[in-house]
Structure 1
């Protein structure tokens, strides 16, 4: 997620298209970001607002997710002893993104352990619970077709309803 650049995102009628290179499958893939049903949590509206804020701060190219200080200001390039350190373009690190997710989960009083990887696991679990095809879930989440690890990402949504014992006449 933090490796994406602003150039990887394009607005479309359905919301946004995001194109990125998937190292595990060795190809570029395009995923869609669709409008949500609740304006307060709609990913398209949220992304549009975020991109407008970046544009207002004269950030129209480079990384999509950038470092922000505790006063919500975009941070300038960092230096240590006069030498640049970190990403010169101000790209957020994966560790910083994980910290943001942990803080937001705490602020929302969510239970359990949260990390940067929770977004991926949560997506797979929610999509499975909504009855989506595992192949489409894998492709949207960047897993290789037939990758068995995906099954570990999908929490047991409803083990009674989804039991293989249902409907076999026992």
Structure 2
């Protein structure tokens, strides 16, 4: 899904996918991120995410990935550098970029300005990026903005992490039924409770 993410819009899309997955964020939480919500540390990134359903800010630790090509920290660094080169050092992380690479071009309809004046993407635009990128990569099935959150929960569980750790990282309430609903059936054979009986 990350192939061809060399342009400014491509770098933005890569960070949307990678950081969305790493933070188990809803697309509405992702597009609300400002550049000041991302703080680098020697271990990775600290991302301050407003968990709207819990009505609180969570500081989510995002470590360096083992594969540089899919590392959310390295991808975020590349996007921040590209934005800084365009004199964007404050404001939203995820902004509109037109086909000419212009950041936050004005949008009008019948002569009236529409959309966020700072260029912030909407949650629907972020969800469309997930869908479009998955389709372009040839993936089947229904891909939405929530696929990032669901994919994180499934992958973390398959990696052996406890439901409590997964839930706290992703901003789910302890004992969340929604979290259980996100776990894919791929565990049906690999972690079958009948095995070893």
Whether these two folds match at TM > 0.5 is: yes
Structure index of larger Rg: 1
Residue 43 of structure 2 is aligned to residue 14 of structure 1: yes
- Could you state the TM-score of these two structures normalised by the residue count of structure 2? 0.79
Q: What's 2:18 paired with?
A: none
* From 24, 28, 32, the counterpart of 2:61: 32
1:119, distance to aligned residue in structure 2 (A): 0.6
What is the distance in 1 between the residues matched to 2:130 and 2:50? 23
What is the distance in 2 between the residues matched to 1:94 and 1:121? 16
Task: Could you tell me which runs of 5 or more consecutive residues in structure 1 were left unpaired when the two chains were aligned.
Answer: none
Q: What's 1:55 paired with?
A: 84
Q: What's 2:141 paired with?
A: 112
Q: What's 2:21 paired with?
A: none
What is the distance in 1 between the residues matched to 2:102 and 2:167? 36
Q: What's 1:152 paired with?
A: 181
What is the distance in 2 between the residues matched to 1:72 and 1:97? 17
Kept after mapping to 2: 8 A contact 1:35/1:44: yes
Task: Could you tell me which runs of 5 or more consecutive residues in structure 2 were left unpaired when the two chains were aligned.
Answer: 1-29
Greater helix share, structure number: 2
| Greater RCO, 1 or 2 (C-alpha within 8 Å, sep 6+) | 2
**CA RMSD, Structure 1 to Structure 2 (Å):** 1.6
1:101, distance to aligned residue in structure 2 (A): 1.2
1:92, distance to aligned residue in structure 2 (A): 0.6
* From 65, 72, 92, the counterpart of 1:43: 72
Match of 1:138, SS state, is: helix
What is the distance in 1 between the residues matched to 2:137 and 2:58? 32
Q: What's 1:140 paired with?
A: 169
Trace 1:122-141 onto structure 2 (pairs within 5 A). 122-141=151-170
1:82, distance to aligned residue in structure 2 (A): 4.6
Kept after mapping to 2: 8 A contact 1:14/1:34: yes
Length, aligned pairs only: 168
What is the distance in 2 between the residues matched to 1:43 and 1:73? 24
* From 69, 72, 95, the counterpart of 1:66: 95
